[in-house]
């Protein structure tokens, strides 16, 4: 499925979550899978072939979605599709981190 044919980042993330259980538990791994998919479908350099500097300065040119968009998409999908949720331990840690952040934001 071509990246351009996917409606948006959410569709790509959902496709990955449906196929890869590890991606449900680890946002960094999920993002790597997103980068690999976009690079393959858009004939861009593979993520392991580019430096961090080149990646950060050219994310848009490589058509890589922002990390935060991937994370938010994952969060929304997992709220809507419980069968794609992370394992219980990861869910608990995420909920705890969210509460800590909310307290920080309020202060």
Q: Given this model, what pLDDT does residue 5 score?
A: 44
Lowest mean pLDDT across 10-14, 43-47, 100-104: 100-104
| pLDDT tens column, 52-97 | 999 999 988 888 899 999 999 999 999 999 999 987 887 777 777 7
In contact, 41 and 3? CB cutoff 8 Å: yes
What is d(CA 26, CA 57) in angstroms, rounded to the nearest whole number? 24
Q: What is the pTM of this model?
A: 0.78
């Amino acid at each position: 499925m071509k990246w351009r044919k996917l409606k948006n980042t959410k569709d790509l993330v959902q496709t990955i979550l449906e196929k890869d259980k590890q991606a449900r538990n680890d946002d960094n791994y999920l993002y790597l899978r997103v980068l690999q998919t976009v690079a393959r479908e858009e004939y861009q350099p593979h993520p392991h072939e580019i430096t961090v500097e080149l990646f950060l300065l050219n994310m848009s040119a490589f058509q890589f979605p922002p990390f935060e968009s991937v994370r938010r998409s994952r969060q929304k999908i997992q709220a809507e599709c419980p069968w794609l949720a992370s394992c219980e331990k990861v869910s608990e840690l995420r909920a705890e981190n969210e509460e800590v952040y909310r307290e920080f934001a309020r202060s």
